[in-house]
Homo-oligomer: A and B are copies of this chain.
Amino acid sequence: MPSYTAPVKDMQFILHDVLKLSQSDVPGFDELDADFTGAILEEAGKIAGEVLAPLNAVGDREGCRLENGVVYTPTGFKAAFDKMREGGWTGLDCDPEYGGQGMPHVLATATGEFFTGANMAFTMYQGLTHGAYSAIHAHGTDAQKAKWLPKMVTCEWTGTMNLTEPQCGTDLGMMRTKAEPQENGTYRITGQKIFISAGEHDMSENIIHLVLAKIPGGPEGIKGVSLFIVPKFLVDDEGQIGARNGVSVGNIEEKMGIHGNATCVMNYDGAEGYLLGEEHKGMRAMFTMMNEARLGVGMQGLAVAEAAYQNALDYAKDRLQGRAITGAENKDGPADPIIVHPDIRRSLMDQKSFAEGGRAFALWGAEMIDRSHRAGDAEAEGMISLLTPVLKGFLTDEGFDMAVLAQQVYGGHGYIEEHGMSQFARDARIAMIYEGANGVQALDLVGRKLAANGGKPAMAFFEMVKTFCKENAGDAEFDTAFLEPLKTASKHLQEAAMYFMQNGMKNPNHALAGSYDFMHLFGHVCLGLMWSKMALAAKVKLAEGAPDAAFYETKIATGRYYMARRLPATSMHLARISSGADTVMALDAANF
């Protein structure tokens, strides 16, 4: 069975040596010194490794069970959820006014990676609650916040997001669920929602559904969608749980992975709901929390990749098979551990350099969300909006690929369920799909974000890379290994953006046909930048004579790998993009 060890030291390195959080002017960051975050990360890592990880395979094997309208989660999930509640982990970055601990989002992202890496299906229950919390926090009235949030912060009540219907996923304008206004100011919600993660389960006393629905008579399409709070059990003004509301689970889906999380068909049959935010402004309410939610999914990609990598690494050190081509390294044994083989190294280095680079990218993203929310920094807001589809799309695509690589290290033992490597791949797969399928992320990136605000955030990104390269040039070794490849990759990215500008005007297909490659190209540039920053930070630590030189030397070596071996993908993506839409759109649908 796979094990999980929280990468506390790597996390600390990013928080303090790369992002330098406690030196930041963002309100609340001053508390985040290395001792403080170290203690929190250690504690979170312990729960992840000791409580959540052992339940990961259990959740996969048992799955969830629906009986007479009740969903039973896998053995041990409820007790573990109680532990998470007791430890206060569910409200780490929530508003103290409602019982949260008021920590920055970047810290919750760090602990969230640990919980997710240990048990993704389990951690989704609180992740979705956090998403619903954020929506109510941002758009609710004071009365709504007072009523719903305190118990959601503690996860005594969990939350869900209800968007998809059978006939509409990406295109929510086709929504059919209706919300009929009542005389008392409430609404009656009727319709069917599908793919509702944590829609029904036995781990909390109430479930607060956020439901997108149309108020009859409103505008057509997406502009007529409103957002509603629809609790499983009604709650009176004293906060006491009352009658069951008209919402029930119709079915739970059989899925490729995340079996421990109940994916529900939810039937709303005149359920009582309360408008959240303004009428017909439901999509806007959803969008305000989308950066955070999508970053969270991107983080899932790297979290599962990290977990899979840890196990692949253990296996590669243990499994004896063949001899190093340069001469036996385990002379007394019947064979060498497979980590001696260059192609196993290639695979492990792909995984390691992705997980660590992706982690830096995700934490940088979370830091920008904090900067935007806590310091009202419009530039950070623009940058994180631009990078959100990259964080989501690139990190989940790569995260899945890396889980598949990790599985491959096990050979045939990776394909059988016994060792848990198949689960990592199957679980990681969903992150490419939900919270906006990655093709939609690419569309968002190229069709919307790239040109948003007159292209300012994009220009700012290029400028930032340029400035970084200029300011840190001069060390020949660093220049060659890091800055030169980064400059080349960034140049490819600019050329691709330029191609879109020049050709997308004539025919928008020229831009959209390259959108997926652009998202990956952008992701590589971001990880190239992260690795350059990490290598720089490691150089500084080494120059300072910091203890554990091997840790910092390993960072530099891993970064060199990424720059030499992964970054060359940018030229391929640019070539694909520059070939335009002609070959992509050449066929009539009938001729496929």
A positions within 8 Å CB-CB of B: 164, 167-171, 174, 194-195, 253-257, 263, 313, 317, 320-322, 325-326, 334-335, 337, 339-349, 352, 400, 404, 407-408, 411-412, 414-418, 422, 425-426, 429-430, 432-434, 437-439, 442-443, 447, 507-509, 512-513, 515-516, 550, 553-554, 557-558, 560-561, 564-565, 568-569, 571-572, 575-576, 579, 581, 583-587, 589, 591-592
10 more contacts with CB within 8 A, not counting A346-B584, A408-B438, A554-B592, are A253-B417, A263-B416, A325-B447, A337-B589, A342-B584, A343-B513, A344-B439, A408-B432, A426-B426, A557-B587
A340 to B581, CA, bound (A): 12
A254 to B423, CA, bound (A): 12
Question: Within the complex, which residue of B170, B415, B429 is in contact with A415, where a contact is CB–CB below 8 Å?
Answer: B429
Question: Within the complex, which residue of B313, B414, B416, B568 is in contact with A575, where a contact is CB–CB below 8 Å?
Answer: B568
Q: Which of A174, A335, A412, A447 has the most CB of B within 10 A?
A: A412
Check if A317 sits within 8 Å of B507, measured CB to CB.
no
A403 to chain B, nearest CB (A): 11
Check if B433 sits within 8 Å of A253, measured CB to CB.
no
Closest to A339 in B: B589
Q: Is the interface of A mostly helix, strand, loop or mixed?
A: helix
A242 to B344, CA, bound (A): 47
Check if A255 sits within 8 Å of B343, measured CB to CB.
no
Closest to A553 in B: B591
A435 to chain B, nearest CB (A): 11
Copy number in the complex reads 2
Check if B557 sits within 8 Å of A568, measured CB to CB.
no
Check if B585 sits within 8 Å of A439, measured CB to CB.
no
Contact A576:B568 (CB < 8 A) given known A256-B425, A342-B509, A418-B254: yes
Q: Give me 14 A-to-B residue pairs in the complex whose CB atoms sit less than 8 angstroms apart, sorted by A's number.
A: A164-B412, A167-B334, A169-B411, A171-B321, A171-B335, A254-B417, A341-B443, A342-B513, A349-B583, A349-B587, A557-B591, A560-B583, A564-B583, A569-B572
Contact A256:B343 (CB < 8 A) given known A195-B412, A326-B508: no
Closest to A510 in B: B342
Contact A516:B254 (CB < 8 A) given known A321-B170, A415-B430, A432-B408: no
Closest to A169 in B: B411
Closest to A572 in B: B572
A43 to B509, CA, bound (A): 42
Contact A346:B516 (CB < 8 A) given known A550-B591, A579-B565: yes
For the complex of A and B, list the 5 residue pairs with the smallest distance between their C-beta atoms, beginning with the closest: A568-B575, A342-B512, A256-B422, A564-B579, A342-B513
In the bound complex, residues from chain B placing their C-beta under 8 Å from that of A339 are: 589, 592
In the bound complex, residues from chain B placing their C-beta under 8 Å from that of A255 are: 415-417, 422
In the bound complex, residues from chain B placing their C-beta under 8 Å from that of A195 are: 412, 416
A569 to B574, CA, bound (A): 11
Check if B322 sits within 8 Å of A170, measured CB to CB.
yes
A185 to chain B, nearest CB (A): 32
Contact A256:B417 (CB < 8 A) given known A346-B516, A586-B560, A587-B554: yes
Check if A348 sits within 8 Å of B432, measured CB to CB.
no
Contact A439:B343 (CB < 8 A) given known A321-B171, A429-B425, A565-B583: yes
In the bound complex, residues from chain B placing their C-beta under 8 Å from that of A341 are: 439, 443, 512
Question: Within the complex, which residue of B253, B439, B507, B584 is in contact with A565, where a contact is CB–CB below 8 Å?
Answer: B584
A409 to B304, CA, bound (A): 23
In the bound complex, residues from chain B placing their C-beta under 8 Å from that of A583 are: 349, 557, 560-561, 564-565
In the bound complex, residues from chain B placing their C-beta under 8 Å from that of A442 are: 343
In the bound complex, residues from chain B placing their C-beta under 8 Å from that of A340 are: 589
In the bound complex, residues from chain B placing their C-beta under 8 Å from that of A344 are: 439
A553 to chain B, nearest CB (A): 8
A341 to B212, CA, bound (A): 25
